C-alpha cells in the first residue's frame, strides 16, 4: 500500500522575510502502532530581511505532526518519506509550507467477510431433502359410524373382514411444520460483515451488494457510522 498525506504548516517569523536563501525539511516520524505515526517535521534554512540585504539570518522550526491511518500496516516493513515540499511567503512574516508525506507498507488484512451459517443448514434434516408424499387418502364418514368411548373415538362400523378400526384422537396436520415459514417473504442463509472504509458510504454498499437501505436498517444502526464500523449485510441468494 502507498499513501500520500498532505500537510499545510504556517510558520510565523519574528521579523520580515525579504527572501529565503536556503531551506530544507527533515523528519523523525515513526510508527507508534499499526495505524498511528508521530514525530517532528523540522524546517531549517536562512533568509534575508530584505532582498537587498547582505546579511542572512538562520532559522529552524520544529512542527509536531501526527498521522492516523485508516489501514493497519506492518510496522517492520513500512517506510515514511518526504514525497514533496514547497513553500510561499505570506504577508512578509509568515512562511507557508506545503508538505507531502509518503507512507508505504504491507497492509495487515483481517477477514472482513464472515459467513454466518443458518441454523437450518446445520440441522441433520435439510429442508431441501424433505419430501412429504401423501397418496390415496380417502376419508369417508357416515352417520353414526363414530361414537365417543372413554375419551377415544372408536369406529363401530364393521368392515367386510369384521375388524375394528381404531382412530387416534390426536389430530395430525401434515402442513404444520411449514406454519412458521412465510413463502411470500424472502429468507437469507448467509450474511456479510463489512468493515466501513474511508470514502465509502451506505449508498455505495447498497450498489455493491445489490440491497436496500431498509434491509440494512433491519440489522444495523445507520445513524452513527464511522470508519471501521462493522456492517451486517444480508446476502440475497
Closest of 95, 100, 9, 98 to residue 59, by C-alpha: 95
Q: What percent of the residues of the chain are helix, what percent strand, and what percent coil, each to the nearest 5? A: 10, 40, 50
Domains (ranges, CATH) in the chain? 2-104 (no CATH), 187-234 (3.10.350.10)
For the chain, the C-alpha Rg in angstroms (whole number) is 38
Arithmetic mean of pLDDT, 159-171: 45
Count other Cβ atoms within 10 Å, centred on residue 170. 5
Q: What is the residue-averaged pLDDT of the chain? A: 75
Q: Which of 16-20, 139-143, 191-195 has the highest mean pLDDT?
A: 16-20
Under a CB-based contact definition with an 8 Å cutoff, are residues 89 and 63 in contact?
Answer: no
* Backbone φ and ψ of 97, nearest 5°: -105, 130
Closest of 235, 3, 237, 236 to residue 114, by C-alpha: 235
Each residue's pLDDT tens digit, 80-96: 999 999 999 999 999 99
- Is the pTM of the predicted complex or chain greater than 0.85? no
Arithmetic mean of pLDDT, 162-179: 43
Per the structure block, which three cell numbers stand in for 170? 390426536
Amino acid at each position: 500500500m502507498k499513501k500520500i498525506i498532505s500537510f499545510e504548516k504556517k510558520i510565523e517569523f519574528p521579523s520580515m522575510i525579504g527572501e529565503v536563501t536556503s531551506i530544507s525539511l527533515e523528519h523523525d516520524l515513526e510508527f507508534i502502532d499499526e495505524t498511528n505515526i508521530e514525530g517532528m517535521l523540522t524546517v531549517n534554512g536562512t533568509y534575508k530581511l530584505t532582498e537587498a540585504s547582505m546579511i542572512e539570518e538562520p532559522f529552524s522550526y520544529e512542527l509536531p505532526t501526527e498521522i492516523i491511518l485508516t489501514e493497519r500496516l506492518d510496522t517492520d516493513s513500512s517506510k515514511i518519506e518526504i514525497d514533496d515540499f514547497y513553500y510561499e511567503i505570506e504577508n512578509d512574516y509568515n512562511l507557508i509550507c506545503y508538505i507531502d508525506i509518503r507512507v508505504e507498507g504491507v497492509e495487515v488484512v483481517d477477514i472482513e467477510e464472515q459467513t454466518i451459517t443458518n441454523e437450518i443448514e446445520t440441522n441433520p434434516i435439510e429442508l431441501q431433502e424433505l419430501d412429504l408424499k401423501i397418496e390415496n387418502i380417502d376419508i369417508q364418514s357416515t352417520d353414526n359410524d363414530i361414537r365417543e368411548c372413554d375419551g377415544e373415538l372408536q369406529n363401530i362400523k364393521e368392515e367386510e373382514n369384521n375388524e375394528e378400526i381404531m382412530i387416534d384422537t390426536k389430530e395430525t396436520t401434515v402442513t404444520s411444520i411449514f406454519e412458521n415459514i412465510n413463502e411470500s417473504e424472502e429468507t437469507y442463509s448467509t450474511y456479510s460483515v463489512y468493515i466501513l472504509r474511508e470514502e465509502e458510504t451506505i449508498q455505495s454498499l447498497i450498489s455493491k451488494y445489490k440491497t436496500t437501505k431498509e434491509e440494512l436498517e433491519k440489522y444495523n444502526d445507520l445513524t452513527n457510522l464511522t470508519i471501521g464500523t462493522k456492517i451486517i449485510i444480508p446476502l440475497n441468494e
